[in-house]
Amino acid sequence: MAVSYNALAQSLHTRSSCFIPIRYTKQRSRSNVVFASNDNKNIALQAKVDNLLDSIKWDDKGLAVAIAQNVDTGAVLMQGFVNREALSTTISSRKATFFSRSRSTLWTKGETSNNFINIRDVYIDCDRDSIIYLGTPDGPTCHTGEETCYYTSVFDQLNNDEASGNKLALTTLYSLESIISKRKEESTVPQEGKPSWTRRLLTDDALLCSKIREEADELCRTLEDNEEVSRTPSEMADVLYHAMVLLSKRDVKMEDVFAVLRKRFSQSGIEEKQNRTK
């Protein structure tokens, strides 16, 4: 396995966190690693990589737990195990790679389904015995076709709530997006009685846009009128909710919004605005 670290070395930097970034690592066996060149930078990087991997607390089988997480949604996609070679392959290929304990071989998520997990960063925890792969999935992660491998609620099962069915483990923001999406599906079916507020917004573009403008103005007034600080998150919640209804109307996901934001991280705001398509 040939591993090139030339491109990786260009963006090497240090940050402080309980989970420590290790995006630039390779396996211990030097004979299996090929650097793009033998310049001093790559030689120094190789030494850092060897020292870093030596510091990881591999178990008695040379493995560590690796959790794949969606960098945009925060969803925990799956868990697997990695050894030095799997971690090295992940970083060089930028595809989430694990070690199969049953087959005693490496495997890359998506090698058969094409639903790869494209790695943006890799972290180890403060005890240096577990790893997080932060990435963007190309499709469903679970072999069942579910978005993640975590869709069974323990509390639902304990409460014998079979009617709830599969329920992905979602953060607050994505739980809201899921609720709005369900209301959107329901809005196509005739309903008796008074419709919900979300349904009204979904079926009345003028009302929806007027509410977004109204709530945005109220958010600004919390600053302009020096209102109590508690008013600011309250008004922001209103802005966010109504904006997410509009996104649903346009078939745009929050994940799409976050992807745009991520691309802007390394770009000047002024430059980005100037380069926008008119």
* Distance in angstroms (rounded) separating the CA atoms of residues 182 and 145: 19
Q: What is the pLDDT of residue 153?
A: 85
Q: Which residue has the tokens 């960098």?
A: 71
Contact 174, 254 (CB under 8 A): yes
Contact 100, 109 (CB under 8 A): no
* Distance in angstroms (rounded) separating the CA atoms of residues 83 and 59: 10
Q: What is the pLDDT of residue 171?
A: 84
Nearest to 68 by CA among 134, 162, 146: 134
Nearest to 125 by CA among 26, 22, 11: 22
What mean pLDDT do residues 221-235 have?
97
Six-digit token pair at 153? 């609620």
3-state secondary structure (DSSP) of residue 18: coil
Contact 35, 46 (CB under 8 A): yes
Domains in the chain with CATH codes: 2-137 (3.10.20.810), 170-277 (1.10.287.1080)
Residue-wise pLDDT for 39-64, tens only, equals 677 777 667 777 778 889 999 999 99
Within 10 A of 65 (CB to CB), how many other CB atoms are there?
A: 14
Q: Tell me, rounded to whole angstroms, the distance of Cα 42 from its chain centroid.
A: 30
Higher pLDDT, 23 or 233: 233
Signed CA dihedral, 119, 121, 126, 128: sign only = positive
pTM: 0.70
Give backbone dihedrals phi and psi of 68, rounded to 5 degrees, phi first: -95, 130
Across the chain, mean pLDDT equals 84
* Distance in angstroms (rounded) separating the CA atoms of residues 17 and 44: 24
